[in-house]
Chain A
Amino acid sequence: MTESECHELRQRLEPLVDRELDQETTARLEAHLRSCSGCSKAYEEAVSLPFRLWALRAPEPPPALVPAVMRAVGAAARLERPAVWTRPLIWAPLLAEGGLAGVIGLYLSGVAGVAALARATVGDLGALWGWSVGFSSPPSDFSADLVVVVGALLLMVVTIYHLALLARQRAHEQGRQT
Protein backbone atom coordinates (compact mmCIF):
# COMPACT_ATOMS: atom_id res chain seq x y z
CA MET A 1 0.00 0.00 0.00
CA THR A 2 1.53 3.27 -1.11
CA GLU A 3 0.34 6.83 -0.84
CA SER A 4 0.18 7.15 -4.61
CA GLU A 5 -2.17 4.13 -4.80
CA CYS A 6 -4.47 5.73 -2.21
CA HIS A 7 -4.39 8.98 -4.16
CA GLU A 8 -5.26 7.19 -7.39
CA LEU A 9 -8.16 5.39 -5.77
CA ARG A 10 -9.62 8.59 -4.32
CA GLN A 11 -9.30 10.18 -7.76
CA ARG A 12 -11.05 7.28 -9.48
CA LEU A 13 -13.54 6.42 -6.78
CA GLU A 14 -16.64 7.61 -8.64
CA PRO A 15 -15.78 5.86 -11.93
CA LEU A 16 -14.93 2.74 -9.94
CA VAL A 17 -18.32 2.79 -8.19
CA ASP A 18 -20.05 3.36 -11.52
CA ARG A 19 -18.06 0.53 -13.18
CA GLU A 20 -16.69 2.83 -15.84
CA LEU A 21 -13.03 1.78 -15.63
CA ASP A 22 -11.30 -0.87 -17.71
CA GLN A 23 -10.78 -4.33 -16.27
CA GLU A 24 -7.09 -3.94 -15.52
CA THR A 25 -7.50 -0.70 -13.59
CA THR A 26 -10.54 -2.10 -11.78
CA ALA A 27 -8.64 -5.19 -10.71
CA ARG A 28 -5.70 -3.13 -9.49
CA LEU A 29 -7.87 -0.75 -7.49
CA GLU A 30 -9.89 -3.62 -5.98
CA ALA A 31 -6.66 -5.27 -4.90
CA HIS A 32 -5.72 -2.03 -3.19
CA LEU A 33 -9.11 -1.86 -1.50
CA ARG A 34 -8.53 -5.27 0.05
CA SER A 35 -5.25 -4.13 1.55
CA CYS A 36 -6.17 -0.56 2.64
CA SER A 37 -8.76 -0.09 5.36
CA GLY A 38 -9.04 3.69 4.84
CA CYS A 39 -9.76 3.41 1.12
CA SER A 40 -12.06 0.46 1.75
CA LYS A 41 -14.12 2.58 4.15
CA ALA A 42 -14.30 5.42 1.61
CA TYR A 43 -15.45 2.94 -1.04
CA GLU A 44 -18.18 1.54 1.23
CA GLU A 45 -19.45 5.06 1.85
CA ALA A 46 -19.40 5.84 -1.84
CA VAL A 47 -21.49 2.82 -2.80
CA SER A 48 -23.99 3.35 0.01
CA LEU A 49 -27.47 4.48 -1.07
CA PRO A 50 -27.69 7.66 1.07
CA PHE A 51 -24.42 8.91 -0.32
CA ARG A 52 -25.49 8.32 -3.88
CA LEU A 53 -28.85 10.00 -3.27
CA TRP A 54 -27.05 12.95 -1.69
CA ALA A 55 -24.87 13.19 -4.77
CA LEU A 56 -28.00 13.44 -6.89
CA ARG A 57 -29.28 16.49 -5.00
CA ALA A 58 -29.58 19.73 -6.91
CA PRO A 59 -27.20 22.33 -5.61
CA GLU A 60 -28.75 25.17 -3.64
CA PRO A 61 -28.87 28.34 -5.73
CA PRO A 62 -27.23 31.41 -4.28
CA PRO A 63 -29.72 33.84 -2.71
CA ALA A 64 -29.09 36.51 -5.32
CA LEU A 65 -29.86 34.19 -8.23
CA VAL A 66 -33.67 34.44 -8.28
CA PRO A 67 -33.85 38.26 -8.02
CA ALA A 68 -31.19 38.56 -10.72
CA VAL A 69 -33.11 36.25 -13.05
CA MET A 70 -36.37 38.11 -12.38
CA ARG A 71 -34.69 41.43 -13.10
CA ALA A 72 -33.24 40.10 -16.35
CA VAL A 73 -36.57 38.59 -17.44
CA GLY A 74 -38.45 41.79 -16.52
CA ALA A 75 -36.00 43.93 -18.48
CA ALA A 76 -36.34 41.66 -21.50
CA ALA A 77 -40.12 41.74 -21.26
CA ARG A 78 -40.12 45.53 -21.02
CA LEU A 79 -37.94 45.74 -24.10
CA GLU A 80 -40.26 43.40 -25.97
CA ARG A 81 -43.48 45.22 -25.05
CA PRO A 82 -44.31 48.57 -26.57
CA ALA A 83 -45.04 51.40 -24.14
CA VAL A 84 -48.65 51.65 -23.03
CA TRP A 85 -48.89 55.26 -24.20
CA THR A 86 -47.93 54.31 -27.75
CA ARG A 87 -50.62 51.70 -28.22
CA PRO A 88 -53.03 53.04 -30.84
CA LEU A 89 -55.73 50.48 -30.08
CA ILE A 90 -56.14 51.92 -26.59
CA TRP A 91 -56.04 55.63 -27.28
CA ALA A 92 -56.89 56.31 -30.92
CA PRO A 93 -60.65 55.65 -30.64
CA LEU A 94 -60.75 58.14 -27.76
CA LEU A 95 -59.98 60.89 -30.28
CA ALA A 96 -63.05 60.01 -32.33
CA GLU A 97 -65.17 59.67 -29.19
CA GLY A 98 -63.95 62.99 -27.83
CA GLY A 99 -64.64 64.67 -31.16
CA LEU A 100 -68.18 63.34 -31.35
CA ALA A 101 -68.86 64.20 -27.71
CA GLY A 102 -67.47 67.68 -28.32
CA VAL A 103 -69.70 68.21 -31.33
CA ILE A 104 -72.78 67.06 -29.39
CA GLY A 105 -71.78 69.18 -26.41
CA LEU A 106 -71.27 72.29 -28.50
CA TYR A 107 -74.54 71.67 -30.32
CA LEU A 108 -76.29 71.46 -26.95
CA SER A 109 -74.83 74.82 -25.89
CA GLY A 110 -71.94 73.42 -23.92
CA VAL A 111 -71.87 72.18 -20.35
CA ALA A 112 -75.01 74.12 -19.41
CA GLY A 113 -76.97 72.48 -22.22
CA VAL A 114 -75.75 68.99 -21.34
CA ALA A 115 -76.58 69.61 -17.67
CA ALA A 116 -80.04 70.84 -18.64
CA LEU A 117 -80.58 67.71 -20.71
CA ALA A 118 -79.44 65.52 -17.80
CA ARG A 119 -81.77 67.38 -15.42
CA ALA A 120 -84.66 66.98 -17.86
CA THR A 121 -83.94 63.26 -18.15
CA VAL A 122 -83.91 62.88 -14.38
CA GLY A 123 -87.16 64.83 -14.18
CA ASP A 124 -88.70 62.63 -16.84
CA LEU A 125 -87.62 59.50 -14.97
CA GLY A 126 -89.31 60.86 -11.86
CA ALA A 127 -92.42 61.73 -13.85
CA LEU A 128 -92.42 58.25 -15.36
CA TRP A 129 -92.24 56.73 -11.90
CA GLY A 130 -95.08 58.93 -10.70
CA TRP A 131 -97.07 58.19 -13.84
CA SER A 132 -96.64 54.46 -13.41
CA VAL A 133 -98.08 54.63 -9.90
CA GLY A 134 -100.84 56.98 -11.02
CA PHE A 135 -99.66 60.28 -9.54
CA SER A 136 -98.65 62.30 -12.61
CA SER A 137 -99.03 62.68 -16.34
CA PRO A 138 -96.78 60.74 -18.72
CA PRO A 139 -93.41 62.32 -19.56
CA SER A 140 -93.42 64.91 -22.31
CA ASP A 141 -92.11 64.12 -25.77
CA PHE A 142 -88.45 64.75 -26.33
CA SER A 143 -87.76 67.44 -28.89
CA ALA A 144 -85.44 65.27 -30.90
CA ASP A 145 -82.85 66.84 -33.11
CA LEU A 146 -81.35 64.94 -36.00
CA VAL A 147 -77.80 66.11 -35.27
CA VAL A 148 -77.99 65.05 -31.64
CA VAL A 149 -79.58 61.70 -32.47
CA VAL A 150 -77.15 60.84 -35.25
CA GLY A 151 -74.22 62.03 -33.14
CA ALA A 152 -75.34 59.92 -30.17
CA LEU A 153 -75.81 56.85 -32.36
CA LEU A 154 -72.37 57.33 -33.92
CA LEU A 155 -70.89 57.79 -30.47
CA MET A 156 -72.50 54.54 -29.30
CA VAL A 157 -71.08 52.64 -32.27
CA VAL A 158 -67.57 54.03 -31.77
CA THR A 159 -67.54 53.39 -28.02
CA ILE A 160 -68.82 49.82 -28.41
CA TYR A 161 -66.15 49.18 -31.04
CA HIS A 162 -63.55 50.69 -28.71
CA LEU A 163 -64.64 48.48 -25.82
CA ALA A 164 -64.47 45.44 -28.10
CA LEU A 165 -60.91 46.40 -29.04
CA LEU A 166 -59.94 46.75 -25.39
CA ALA A 167 -61.45 43.36 -24.59
CA ARG A 168 -59.56 41.78 -27.48
CA GLN A 169 -56.40 43.44 -26.20
CA ARG A 170 -57.03 41.68 -22.92
CA ALA A 171 -57.41 38.33 -24.66
CA HIS A 172 -54.24 39.04 -26.64
CA GLU A 173 -52.32 39.78 -23.43
CA GLN A 174 -53.60 36.58 -21.86
CA GLY A 175 -52.49 34.63 -24.92
CA ARG A 176 -49.02 36.12 -24.67
CA GLN A 177 -48.80 35.28 -20.99
CA THR A 178 -49.66 31.66 -21.67
Chain B
Amino acid sequence: MRPLGRIPAGVPRVIGGVFSFWWFVGVGVGLATTSLLGLSLFPGRARAMVDRLEAFGGWAVAFAGGVASFLLIAAASIVFRLSVVFLPLVGVLWTAGLLAVLFGLACLALAMGRRLRRLLGDAHPLLAGLAGTLIICDLALIPVAGPVILGLFVLTSLGLTVVTRFGSPYGWGLEELKW
Protein backbone atom coordinates (compact mmCIF):
# COMPACT_ATOMS: atom_id res chain seq x y z
CA MET B 1 0.00 0.00 0.00
CA ARG B 2 1.36 3.41 -0.95
CA PRO B 3 0.35 6.64 0.75
CA LEU B 4 -1.72 7.81 -2.22
CA GLY B 5 -2.02 4.71 -4.37
CA ARG B 6 -1.11 1.11 -4.99
CA ILE B 7 1.47 -0.25 -7.41
CA PRO B 8 -0.32 -2.87 -9.53
CA ALA B 9 1.00 -6.41 -9.60
CA GLY B 10 3.57 -6.96 -12.31
CA VAL B 11 4.78 -3.36 -12.41
CA PRO B 12 8.49 -3.24 -11.54
CA ARG B 13 9.07 -1.37 -8.31
CA VAL B 14 11.78 1.01 -9.40
CA ILE B 15 11.21 3.26 -6.41
CA GLY B 16 10.00 1.28 -3.47
CA GLY B 17 9.26 1.81 0.17
CA VAL B 18 8.16 5.16 1.45
CA PHE B 19 9.72 7.09 -1.40
CA SER B 20 7.11 6.30 -4.01
CA PHE B 21 6.09 8.63 -6.81
CA TRP B 22 3.01 9.73 -4.96
CA TRP B 23 5.10 10.42 -1.87
CA PHE B 24 7.20 12.86 -3.89
CA VAL B 25 4.10 14.45 -5.40
CA GLY B 26 2.51 14.71 -1.97
CA VAL B 27 5.59 16.35 -0.45
CA GLY B 28 5.90 18.77 -3.37
CA VAL B 29 2.25 19.78 -3.29
CA GLY B 30 2.34 20.10 0.49
CA LEU B 31 5.46 22.25 0.44
CA ALA B 32 4.08 24.45 -2.34
CA THR B 33 0.78 24.89 -0.53
CA THR B 34 2.54 25.72 2.74
CA SER B 35 4.83 28.20 1.00
CA LEU B 36 2.00 29.96 -0.81
CA LEU B 37 -0.03 30.06 2.41
CA GLY B 38 2.88 31.58 4.33
CA LEU B 39 3.59 34.16 1.63
CA SER B 40 -0.09 35.08 1.42
CA LEU B 41 -0.55 35.41 5.18
CA PHE B 42 2.64 37.38 5.88
CA PRO B 43 3.61 39.19 2.66
CA GLY B 44 5.34 42.11 4.37
CA ARG B 45 7.46 39.90 6.58
CA ALA B 46 8.31 37.67 3.63
CA ARG B 47 9.45 40.67 1.61
CA ALA B 48 11.59 41.93 4.50
CA MET B 49 13.23 38.51 4.81
CA VAL B 50 13.88 38.25 1.09
CA ASP B 51 15.36 41.76 1.06
CA ARG B 52 17.66 40.74 3.89
CA LEU B 53 18.62 37.61 2.00
CA GLU B 54 19.41 39.57 -1.16
CA ALA B 55 21.55 42.10 0.71
CA PHE B 56 25.33 41.71 0.71
CA GLY B 57 26.29 38.53 2.60
CA GLY B 58 22.65 37.65 3.25
CA TRP B 59 22.96 33.97 2.35
CA ALA B 60 26.10 33.53 4.45
CA VAL B 61 24.54 35.22 7.48
CA ALA B 62 21.40 33.11 7.10
CA PHE B 63 23.38 29.88 6.84
CA ALA B 64 25.57 30.68 9.83
CA GLY B 65 22.46 31.67 11.78
CA GLY B 66 20.83 28.41 10.76
CA VAL B 67 23.69 26.31 12.10
CA ALA B 68 23.70 28.31 15.33
CA SER B 69 19.92 28.05 15.67
CA PHE B 70 19.97 24.29 15.08
CA LEU B 71 22.64 23.79 17.73
CA LEU B 72 20.75 26.11 20.08
CA ILE B 73 17.59 24.04 19.67
CA ALA B 74 19.54 20.83 20.25
CA ALA B 75 21.27 22.16 23.37
CA ALA B 76 18.06 23.67 24.73
CA SER B 77 16.29 20.34 24.16
CA ILE B 78 18.89 18.59 26.31
CA VAL B 79 18.58 21.20 29.04
CA PHE B 80 14.78 21.19 28.97
CA ARG B 81 14.80 17.39 28.96
CA LEU B 82 16.44 17.44 32.39
CA SER B 83 13.25 18.43 34.10
CA VAL B 84 9.78 17.03 33.74
CA VAL B 85 8.54 20.57 34.32
CA PHE B 86 10.26 21.97 31.24
CA LEU B 87 9.83 18.88 29.07
CA PRO B 88 6.77 20.29 27.24
CA LEU B 89 8.95 23.20 26.11
CA VAL B 90 10.89 20.74 23.97
CA GLY B 91 7.74 20.15 21.92
CA VAL B 92 7.10 23.88 21.70
CA LEU B 93 10.70 24.46 20.63
CA TRP B 94 10.61 21.82 17.92
CA THR B 95 7.25 23.03 16.63
CA ALA B 96 8.54 26.61 16.48
CA GLY B 97 11.63 25.38 14.67
CA LEU B 98 9.54 23.49 12.14
CA LEU B 99 7.35 26.54 11.48
CA ALA B 100 10.46 28.70 11.14
CA VAL B 101 11.92 26.28 8.60
CA LEU B 102 8.68 26.18 6.58
CA PHE B 103 8.33 29.97 6.43
CA GLY B 104 12.03 30.37 5.74
CA LEU B 105 11.79 27.87 2.89
CA ALA B 106 8.91 29.88 1.44
CA CYS B 107 11.06 33.01 1.57
CA LEU B 108 14.02 31.21 -0.01
CA ALA B 109 11.67 30.06 -2.76
CA LEU B 110 10.46 33.62 -3.23
CA ALA B 111 14.05 34.88 -3.45
CA MET B 112 14.86 32.27 -6.11
CA GLY B 113 11.65 33.13 -7.93
CA ARG B 114 12.54 36.81 -7.89
CA ARG B 115 15.90 35.98 -9.44
CA LEU B 116 14.11 33.93 -12.09
CA ARG B 117 11.74 36.81 -12.70
CA ARG B 118 14.66 39.09 -13.46
CA LEU B 119 15.88 36.60 -16.02
CA LEU B 120 12.59 35.51 -17.58
CA GLY B 121 10.31 38.50 -17.21
CA ASP B 122 7.65 39.92 -14.93
CA ALA B 123 5.27 37.64 -13.04
CA HIS B 124 3.07 37.66 -9.95
CA PRO B 125 5.10 37.25 -6.72
CA LEU B 126 3.11 34.15 -5.73
CA LEU B 127 3.98 32.57 -9.07
CA ALA B 128 7.61 33.44 -8.43
CA GLY B 129 7.35 31.78 -5.01
CA LEU B 130 5.74 28.71 -6.55
CA ALA B 131 8.50 28.47 -9.16
CA GLY B 132 11.12 28.73 -6.43
CA THR B 133 9.40 26.00 -4.40
CA LEU B 134 9.42 23.70 -7.41
CA ILE B 135 13.12 24.38 -7.90
CA ILE B 136 13.82 23.40 -4.28
CA CYS B 137 11.74 20.23 -4.69
CA ASP B 138 13.60 19.35 -7.88
CA LEU B 139 16.99 19.95 -6.29
CA ALA B 140 16.01 17.75 -3.35
CA LEU B 141 15.29 14.89 -5.76
CA ILE B 142 18.88 14.70 -7.06
CA PRO B 143 20.31 11.35 -5.99
CA VAL B 144 22.83 11.50 -3.15
CA ALA B 145 23.32 15.27 -3.36
CA GLY B 146 19.60 16.05 -2.98
CA PRO B 147 19.35 15.45 0.78
CA VAL B 148 22.53 17.47 1.33
CA ILE B 149 21.15 20.37 -0.70
CA LEU B 150 17.83 20.13 1.12
CA GLY B 151 19.67 20.15 4.45
CA LEU B 152 21.53 23.31 3.44
CA PHE B 153 18.24 24.91 2.43
CA VAL B 154 16.64 23.91 5.73
CA LEU B 155 19.50 25.34 7.78
CA THR B 156 19.54 28.55 5.75
CA SER B 157 15.79 28.99 6.04
CA LEU B 158 15.89 28.41 9.80
CA GLY B 159 18.68 30.96 10.17
CA LEU B 160 16.93 33.48 7.95
CA THR B 161 13.79 33.33 10.06
CA VAL B 162 15.68 33.57 13.35
CA VAL B 163 18.15 36.30 12.36
CA THR B 164 15.45 38.49 10.85
CA ARG B 165 13.13 37.72 13.77
CA PHE B 166 10.44 36.41 11.46
CA GLY B 167 10.87 39.31 9.05
CA SER B 168 10.62 42.03 11.64
CA PRO B 169 11.82 45.43 10.41
CA TYR B 170 13.98 45.68 13.53
CA GLY B 171 16.74 43.24 14.45
CA TRP B 172 17.17 41.46 17.75
CA GLY B 173 17.91 43.93 20.50
CA LEU B 174 16.70 45.46 23.72
CA GLU B 175 16.10 48.86 22.16
CA GLU B 176 12.41 48.10 21.78
CA LEU B 177 12.05 47.87 25.55
CA LYS B 178 12.85 51.57 25.82
CA TRP B 179 9.84 53.84 25.92
Contact = CB atoms under 8 A, between A and B. Distances in A.
Interface of A: 77, 81, 84-85, 87, 90-91, 93-94, 97, 100-101, 104, 117-118, 121, 124-125, 128, 138-139, 141-142, 144, 148-149, 151-153, 155-156, 159-160, 162-164, 166-171, 173, 177
B64 A152 contact: no
Nearest to B63: A90
B69 interface: yes
Contacts, number: 110
Contact of A169 (B61, B75, B77): B61
A153 B171 contact: no
Nearest to A168: B171
Contacts of A94: 64, 67-68
B77 A163 contact: no
A173 B55 contact: yes
B89 to A, nearest CB: 10
Contacts of B57: 84, 87, 90, 169, 173
Nearest to B60: A84
Q: Give the interface size bracket for B toward A.
A: 35 or more
B114 interface: no
A152 B79 contact: yes
A144 B82 contact: yes
B75 A163 contact: no
A97 B65 CA distance: 12
24 contacts: A77-B56, A84-B60, A90-B57, A90-B61, A93-B68, A118-B77, A128-B87, A142-B83, A152-B76, A153-B75, A155-B71, A155-B74, A156-B72, A159-B68, A159-B69, A163-B68, A166-B61, A168-B171, A168-B173, A169-B57, A169-B61, A170-B164, A173-B55, A177-B55
